[in-house]
Structure 1
Amino acid sequence: MELQTFLIFAMTQAIVIASPGPSAIVVASQGATNGWRTTVFQMFGMMVATAIYFVMSATGLAALILASNLVFQIIKWVGVGYLIYLGLTALLSRSGGLSVAPTGKVKSQKSLFLQGFVVEFANPKVLLFFAAILPQFLDTAAPIAPQMTIMGLTGAAMQFVIYSAYASLGNKLANGGMRAWIVDLINRTAGAALIFAGIKMASVTAER
């Protein structure tokens, strides 16, 4: 892989990760609830989901999933349902896992990992990115495995850094001495944003 191609890939990947979406919202909310150290396990779940998509893209499985409307719809609607569930939890429950305020209630590491994994893996836009965009950066004349390894490690590092920034931002917002109504507004906004993301996700199709 040429340096220029790698830099373009890195920039594209950074923009995709940094764009406010379901994963960023969930990470920021968890960071606000229990801090960065706890949120790391959630981020690991997202990184594992991304790694799986990298492997699927390299082996052509992602393209097969896109070709199978049934499998694609299952992945999509699992994601839609879960995002709406998380959004409603944030909107209706003061003690919900997405409350943008320190609650003192810490979820288990396994629970956080699974939540991060499901949010990332069930997002059809992530699947579309790895199936339709990622292969364009590969040099088919060179060995594929080293290129995928480099790109995968780069993507994982970017996820960790960018999502850590979101988690730290959420934590600072929740612990910055804000008035209760402001914290509540942020919490409600996060919930509404997740529901909106779920609704938008429902309109995603497998067409490239």
Structure 2
Amino acid sequence: MSWEAYLIFVVTTGVICLTPGPAALLIVAQGMSNGMRRSYWAIAGIALTNALYFALSATGIAALIVASNNLFSIIKWVGVAYLLYLGMSTLLSKGSAFSVSSDKSLAVSGWPAFWNAVIVELSNPKALLYFVALLPQFIDPAQPLGKQMLIYGASCLALDGLTYSLYAWLGSKTQKFTANAKFVKASNRASGGLLMLAGLLMAGVKRVAH
């Protein structure tokens, strides 16, 4: 593994982590409702799921899932349905993980926030496609595989923690506005609409292998 390849991997992964998506939206909503510190439950859920995807990619299982039309379709359509459900719940302000509320007792935190994040990231096949399509390009077959996987895996977790902490911080900076009913209503409409849009876009995700 060369330093040049590693730096390209870090930059590429960092840019993808910073690109807004369902996971980033979840963290922003958590920051708005719970503050930055409590958002780390959701960040941990996303990081753990990405670690699982990384492990699957490293063992080749992820490639088999992507190559299997039935398995990939199940993952994709479950994700579409879940995102649409979350979007509608947020639009109606039912206290979902994405909802912003001035009532802190309704905020989703702790283990519920952790598992919500895990479900959101598991239901997004784009994360699976990312590891299947990107990771193999940086593996040097002439070098010890275990060492490379350890370095790339640790780097992915670190980038997840840094970028989603930034999203949590940005969300926490708007906490002072959550007492405003109009702001809360507008935020939930925006979050719900974006989630439903993400679900519709996910429906168009194609397999890497055919």
TM-score range, shorter chain: over 0.9
Partner of 1:18: 18
| Unpaired stretches in structure 1, ≥5 consecutive residues | none
Cα offsets for 1:144-197 (capped at 9, x unmatched)? 111111111111111111111111111211324784323321221111001100
**Structure 1: which 4+ aligned runs deviate by more than 6 Å?**
none
Cα offsets for 1:14-71 (capped at 9, x unmatched)? 0111001010001101111111222111111111110111111111111100111111
1:98 CA displacement: 2.0
Partner of 1:156: 157
Task: Output the amino acid matched with 2:81.
Answer: G
Q: Does residue 1:65 correspond to 2:65, yes or no?
A: yes
- Equivalent positions of 1:1-208 (< 5 A) are 1-93=1-93, 95-105=95-105, 106-107=107-108, 109-176=110-177, 179-207=180-208
Q: For residues 114 and 122 of structure 1, what CA distance do their matches in structure 2 show?
A: 12
Q: For residues 107 and 174 of structure 1, what CA distance do their matches in structure 2 show?
A: 15
Q: Equivalent residue of 2:100, what SS?
A: coil
RMSD value, Cα: 1.7
Aligned length in residues: 208
Q: For residues 120 and 146 of structure 1, what CA distance do their matches in structure 2 show?
A: 26
TM-score, normalised by the number of residues in structure 1: 0.93
Identity over aligned pairs, percent = 42
Is the CA contact 1:65–1:71 (under 8 Å) kept in the aligned structure 2?
yes
Q: Equivalent residue of 1:175, what SS?
A: helix
Q: For residues 18 and 122 of structure 1, what CA distance do their matches in structure 2 show?
A: 19
Task: Output the amino acid matched with 2:21.
Answer: G
Q: For residues 103 and 141 of structure 1, what CA distance do their matches in structure 2 show?
A: 57
Q: For residues 119 and 15 of structure 1, what CA distance do their matches in structure 2 show?
A: 20
Is the CA contact 1:31–1:171 (under 8 Å) kept in the aligned structure 2?
yes
Residues 202 and 134 from structure 1, CA distance in 2 versus in 1: closer, same or farther, beyond 3 angstroms? same
Q: Equivalent residue of 2:143, what SS?
A: coil
Q: For residues 75 and 123 of structure 1, what CA distance do their matches in structure 2 show?
A: 8
Q: For residues 186 and 119 of structure 1, what CA distance do their matches in structure 2 show?
A: 19
